[in-house]
Amino acid sequence: MNTYKIAVMGGDGTGPEVIREGVKVLKVLEQKAGFKCEYQDYDFGGDRYLRTGEVLPDSASEELKKFDAIYLGAIGHDKVKPGILEKGILLRLRFELDQYINLRPVKLYPGVWTPVKDKEPEHIDFVVVRENSAGIYTGGGGNIKVGTPNEIAIQEMVYTRFEVDRCLKYAFEYTRKRNKNKELTLVGKTNVLTYVFGLWERAFHEMGEKDYPDIKRDYNHVDACTMWFVKNPEWYDVIVTANMFGDIITDLGAMIQGGMGVAAGGNINPDEGGTSMFEPIGGSAPKYTGQNVINPIACISAGQMMLEHLGEAKAAKMLDQAVSDFLGSGELPGLSVSDIKKAGYSTSKIGDAIAQRVQDM
């Protein structure tokens, strides 16, 4: 039987509540699909920082590299200045573990309300491959003449050919494996950011022409892409884009798939022996902390992505089916906190309901 070592980081706010439901469902799947996970908890997050003054121990990445995967709830604490934990934990782990891909499926499940009129599950089903290790997130910069009327702020978007190529390669391979429309769309801004997206565009076509003649190539400017997300989401199969643009368009993606309550993502290190980290893409929702009202489905789906990544395809499929059946059943009238409360559901009850569906398979 395959055994996996999983580092569990509940993190801040409602993170621990949703991760508890994710682990609950995984434990049922272990029995049903025949694999084993050994879970180890880590308390990285705002509470630990406020207690100890340390954001992340220097040994953390080396320790986490020994795990087969990391399962993360959320990072962001209402009593800690924005940026400290996000940069000091989430981004630091992404960079130090070289998780250079952020994989974000945009999938409308049956029974889920989308704000985009007349769109059904068959119209909203694509995947964004966001470069996750470089670009404007790690480029140089600084503030000069701070506090004067002539203050200068610099924030550079930097990409190397190596970083672009490895991201594109993953995206082409993923598109081939997904085997839907076999179409990869590069999202950039070649009409303004000519240096950086000039490189992306050249590399995209060179690689596509040489190694992936079976994959259709398309290109969108990022502003136009946000328009198509709303108007014609069915046009997309797989999108590949740089870090910042990927961050922005996947929040829009989350909305058209029904909201942050269902949007999951994986920070992937595709290299041999790399450790990847799976998380719901919504935040820590501090105001709902401890109330057992937040939707755990995004976190449960992040667990599903983790299983797929680990190679437990059967378990991943079962979990996807259970989530789809639960949402499709209409038991929840909607995914917001007020919908969940109105329906007499809670974070743990939703976890129970999905676990039960897996159990009954």
Q: Return residues touching ligand IPM (CB under 6 A).
A: 86, 90-91, 247, 281
The residue (of 120 and 251) whose beta carbon lies closer to ligand IPM is: 251
243-256 vs 222-231: helix axis angle to the nearest 10?
10
Q: In this structure, how many other beta carbons lie within 10 angstroms of the beta carbon of residue 148?
A: 8
Partner whose footprint covers residue 69, from Mn ion, ligand IPM, none (CB < 5 to 8 Å by kind): none
Partner whose footprint covers residue 252, from Mn ion, ligand IPM, none (CB < 5 to 8 Å by kind): none
Q: Shortest Cβ distance from residue 251 to ligand IPM (Å)?
A: 7
The residue (of 68 and 247) whose beta carbon lies closer to ligand IPM is: 247
Partner whose footprint covers residue 90, from ligand IPM, Mn ion, none (CB < 5 to 8 Å by kind): ligand IPM
Residue type, position 174, single letter: Y
Partner whose footprint covers residue 353, from ligand IPM, Mn ion, none (CB < 5 to 8 Å by kind): none
Partner whose footprint covers residue 323, from ligand IPM, Mn ion, none (CB < 5 to 8 Å by kind): none
The residue (of 29 and 262) whose beta carbon lies closer to ligand IPM is: 262
CB of 215 closer than 8 Å to CB of 247: no
CB of 91 closer than 8 Å to CB of 127: no
What lies within 8 Å, CB to CB, of 348 at 6+ separation is 17, 20, 21, 292
Partner whose footprint covers residue 343, from Mn ion, ligand IPM, none (CB < 5 to 8 Å by kind): none
**Residue 21 in the binding site for Mn ion (CB under 5 A):** no
Number of chain residues interacting with Mn ion (CB under 5 A)? 1
Report d(CA 303, CA 347) in Å as an integer.
16
Q: Which segment (18-26, 29-37, 91-99, 242-250) binds Mn ion by CB under 5 A?
A: 242-250
Q: Shortest Cβ distance from residue 293 to ligand IPM (Å)?
A: 22
Reduced to 3 states (helix: H, G, I; strand: E, B; else coil), residue 174 is helix
The residue (of 85 and 293) whose beta carbon lies closer to ligand IPM is: 85
Q: Shortest Cβ distance from residue 27 to ligand IPM (Å)?
A: 26
Residue type, position 195, single letter: Y
The residue (of 74 and 80) whose beta carbon lies closer to Mn ion is: 74
Residue type, position 358, single letter: V
For 285, phi and psi rounded to 5 degrees? Answer: 40, 60
Q: Shortest Cβ distance from residue 136 to ligand IPM (Å)?
A: 10
Q: Which of 127, 66, 64 is nearest to 95 (CA)?
A: 64
Q: Shortest Cβ distance from residue 227 to Mn ion (Å)?
A: 20
Q: Which of 326, 291, 277 is nearest to 90 (CA)?
A: 277
For 275, phi and psi rounded to 5 degrees? Answer: -110, 125
Residue 161 tokens read as 């050919």
The residue (of 94 and 119) whose beta carbon lies closer to ligand IPM is: 94
What lies within 8 Å, CB to CB, of 224 at 6+ separation is none
The residue (of 90 and 108) whose beta carbon lies closer to ligand IPM is: 90
**Residue 247 in the binding site for Mn ion (CB under 5 A):** yes
Residue 110 tokens read as 């049956």
Q: Contact positions toward Mn ion, by CB under 5 A? A: 247
